[in-house]
Amino acid sequence: MNISDGHVDADVQGVDIRRRHLEVSPQCKGLSVDNVQQQHLPENNTDTGWLLNAGSSASIATDNDLDGMNHLSSTSFLRRAQSMSIVLSIILSPVAIVLVSIWASVLGGVSWSEGDAKRVFNWHPVMMVIAYAIMNVGALAFRASGTSAYQTSLHSSSSSSSLRNVSTSSIPSSISPDPKKRRDAKSSHASMWTLNIVFGTIGILAVFKSHNDPISGYIANMYSLHSWVGITVLSLYTIQYLVGMFAFSGLCSARRRISNPISMEIHKFAGSYIHILATTTILLGIQEKEGFVLCAYTVESPDVPPEFNVGKIPYSCKISHCLGVVILLMGVCTHFGLAKL
């Protein structure tokens, strides 16, 4: 299970647990042993098709057998849903960048000049959303390439499964413990976090510059919930980045001391949490900015049903609402994509 350069050994700890997910219950084990009629399965059901090899000596399956079969079928379904969720999340990343760029241009475009604080500010959402989109792809780098320790453990445990007739068709064929692919995924994972630091820093500098502009007028810093949550996320991100570099990149000679299964599990858990927190921060930021743009409209009669008046929402707010929904979907899809099912 030593997939690439020794770091994956840190991931192996979880394998036994994950293997349990794959192994079927005792009742279900009976299933693979030719004792279920194929007629119990819906026709053309590819999810369950890998489970069974209906023998000529088939007999009627018990309820327990069918329960076990349903369990495997839903595991397979969940894995497919997870693959789709990863693809969707990656597709939504450029969509978010396009939406935030349109939003910034509707709000007047961007600038870095003194006395142009509003347009200097616009760099903030643009840079932060680009950083988030990169973060999103970075978090999924191992899953998308089929090289995460979790996926390869599923691959090897199902290949060595004692179950007769169980094929690996529930696991995408692209998943294999290929050391080169794994190394590539790891480099893009690490370099995307590094690139993020560049975009994130410009984004934060932009908002501070726009708040401290002597010509446009000063605005207080760090007064909102968004800015407090934002600083917390940036701090967690920095810690995660430094620990990742020390422990798993091979750049640090002391890494052997901290590169162990527990630190890897903490890294994965913290990484997916930081992603969720960044999602939350962006949503709070959009809400904060919408408060200044004024998205509400006036009505002369009861606004029921509200969809009749949705067209009255200012254009910039429609764009920022869509951006918020896309960011939310990215958060959900990536979180689901990283789950250990």
- Per CB under 6 A, residues contacting ligand HEM are 7, 11, 124-125, 128-129, 132, 139, 142-143, 148-150, 186, 189-190, 193, 204, 207-208, 211, 221-224, 226-227, 230-231, 233-234, 237, 240-241, 244-245, 248-249, 267-268, 271-272, 274, 278, 281-282, 285-286, 288-289, 338
Closest to ligand HEM by CB, 28 or 181: 181
Closest to ligand HEM by CB, 155 or 189: 189
Closest to ligand HEM by CB, 218 or 297: 218
Cβ of residue 224: shortest distance to ligand HEM, in angstroms? 3
Cβ of residue 202: shortest distance to ligand HEM, in angstroms? 12
Closest to ligand HEM by CB, 32 or 93: 93
Burial letters 58-67, b for 16+ CB under 10 A, else e: beebeeebbe
Closest to ligand HEM by CB, 66 or 81: 81
Cβ of residue 204: shortest distance to ligand HEM, in angstroms? 6
Cβ of residue 24: shortest distance to ligand HEM, in angstroms? 24
Write the CB contacts of 211 (distance below 8 Å, at least 6 apart in sequence). 117, 218, 219, 220, 221
Cβ of residue 309: shortest distance to ligand HEM, in angstroms? 24
Cβ of residue 262: shortest distance to ligand HEM, in angstroms? 13
Closest to ligand HEM by CB, 50 or 193: 193
